[in-house]
């Protein structure tokens, strides 16, 4: 009976939605950045699959359908960009420079740490695009022989850390300009961080959305120089 339920694509879809909604409820209830809905959903799903000995392949029949919405969900961020088009025109060069600095720093730090710890090429190229949105990161990693699962995990972890730490870091470094804050969040923690930027303000959310696309494009271009 359990096998019949878990092998249905509907199981994975319902589990993803239910786990995320529980995460949203906990975040509203506890009012702490540590209760990130995505982090809670991932932890709950892993715990449930492990406890009930449900094969990942069974869950992923529905999980793959949820993954199909990654690209459309990212594209929807264009709406917030359009609403702040005048702000973008005014700050285009600083935003471009900030995204370039973020992309270079992210890739250089990952490359340096991978060399320091002796990771092979497959793991290195899988981790390099950790700071760009999932569809772009997967494309970069697979084009250079990376491991898709490692890339997805790295992107999720980076995004969750960014969403949790962003408000505290903005206060710590006394960033008052919403354009600066939004650009930094989007360049470092892609769409997951952008959800937090949108909570901080409309301009922060729009600039973070812009940074996702610009940083993704720059990372693709920079990846062309990988050996």
Query: How far, in Å, CA of 193 to CA of 158, rounded?
Result: 9
Residues 6+ apart with CB under 8 A from 9: 61, 62, 65
Of residues 28 and 3, more confidence is placed in 28
Domain boundaries, the chain: 2-68, 76-223
pLDDT > 90 in the chain, percent: 38
Which residue matches tokens 């492990």? 50
Given this model, what pLDDT does residue 91 score?
87
CB of 45 within 8 A of CB of 19?
yes
CB of 62 within 8 A of CB of 14?
yes
User: Pick from 148, 138, 151: which is nearest to 110 by CA?
Assistant: 151
User: Pick from 196, 203, 195: which is nearest to 166 by CA?
Assistant: 196
CB of 191 within 8 A of CB of 74?
yes
CA angle 144, 185, 124 (to 5 degrees): 20
Query: How far, in Å, CA of 137 to CA of 177, rounded?
Result: 29
| pTM for the whole structure | 0.81
CA angle 85, 183, 173 (to 5 degrees): 135
Q: What is the pLDDT of residues 49-76, one digit of tens each?
A: 999 899 888 888 888 888 778 777 767 7
Q: What is the pLDDT of residues 99-152, one digit of tens each?
A: 999 999 999 999 999 999 999 999 999 999 999 988 889 889 999 999 988 998
CB of 84 within 8 A of CB of 182?
no
For the chain, give the mean pLDDT: 87
CB of 58 within 8 A of CB of 72?
no
């Amino acid at each position: 009976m359990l096998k019949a339920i878990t092998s249905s694509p509907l199981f994975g879809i319902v589990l993803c939605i239910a786990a995320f909604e529980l995460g949203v409820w906990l975040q509203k209830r506890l009012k702490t950045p540590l209760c990130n809905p995505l982090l809670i959903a991932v932890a709950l799903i892993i715990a449930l699959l492990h406890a009930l000995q449900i094969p990942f392949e069974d869950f992923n029949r529905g999980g793959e359908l949820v993954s199909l919405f990654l690209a459309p969900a990212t594209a929807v961020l264009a709406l917030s960009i359009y609403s702040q088009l005048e702000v973008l025109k005014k700050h285009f060069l600083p935003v471009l420079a900030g995204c370039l600095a973020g992309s270079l720093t992210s890739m250089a730090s990952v490359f340096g740490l991978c060399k320091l710890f002796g990771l092979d090429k497959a793991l290195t190229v899988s981790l390099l695009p950790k700071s760009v949105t999932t569809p772009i990161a997967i494309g970069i990693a697979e084009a250079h022989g990376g491991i898709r699962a490692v890339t997805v995990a790295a992107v999720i972890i980076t995004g969750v850390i960014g969403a949790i730490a962003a408000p505290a870091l903005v206060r710590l470094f006394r960033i008052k300009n919403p354009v600066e804050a939004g650009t930094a969040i989007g360049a470092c923690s892609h769409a997951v961080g952008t959800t937090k930027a949108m909570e901080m303000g409309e301009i922060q959310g729009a600039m973070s959305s812009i940074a996702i696309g610009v940083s993704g494009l720059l990372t693709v271009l920079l990846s062309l120089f990988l050996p």
